Amino acid sequence: MPRRWRVPESGVADSSGIAVALVHHPVLNRLGETSTTAITSIDIHDFVRTCAFYDVGPVYIVHPADGMHALVADMTRYWQEGAGSVRNPGRTESLAGLRMVRRLEDVLEDADYTLWYTSAKPPENSMREVRELSGIPGRHLLVFGTGSGLDAKSLPTPNGWLSPVAGIGKVRHLSVRAALAIYLDRLRR
């Protein structure tokens, strides 16, 4: 039976039953040590636009630092209330699904999610193809990591790992934004 997380009265609803989290801490650095990465504007814009394109949400950005929360608040304020909201109303709508949290556990308090981790190198056991999620009832949270991937030992235990996107070229793995788009396309089409 999948692990389930509590649903508060104010649970977030969306039409797809799929939410996404981009974790900046705890992630691994190139040496395999627990680390934290910085949030970039491309993380925010590409994640919310891609999720809006596939009618998926909310989009959670996980980072513990006050400064990163302030950066995202300033950036989103421009697009939701400032000149950016007039210049690009579509971006305003896309950003409405963005949620900033300090820990992945905070996301799990938002809704009753079945938790799925992604990785270019997942553990061999419990891997599922992303397409299979459409046959599993309930709300699903797809968790992506920055840096060199999720520090799974420091995160809640997932229901499983999604099979990696396999390439045919010389590069070992995709950018997290490209992987998100591929996973969502496979899931939603």
* Domain limits for position 107: 18-64+98-188
Q: Is 70 a domain residue?
A: no
For the record, the structure tokens of 172 come out as 């070992």
Q: Is 84 a domain residue?
A: no
Q: Is 72 a domain residue?
A: no
**CATH code of residue 22:** 3.40.1280.10
- 97-146 pLDDT per residue, tens: 999 999 999 999 988 899 999 987 777 766 888 988 888 899 999 999 99
- As beta bridge partners, residue 166 has none
Q: How many domains does the chain have?
A: 1
φ, ψ dihedrals at 45, nearest 5°: -65, -45
Q: Is 5 a domain residue?
A: no
User: What residues contact 7, with CB distance under 8 A and at least 6 apart?
Assistant: 111, 112
Please state, in angstroms and rounded to a whole number, the distance separating the CA atoms of residues 17 and 141: 9
Q: Is 111 a domain residue?
A: yes
- 48-96 pLDDT per residue, tens: 999 999 999 999 999 999 999 999 999 999 888 888 888 888 788 889 8
Q: Is 89 a domain residue?
A: no
Q: Is 102 a domain residue?
A: yes
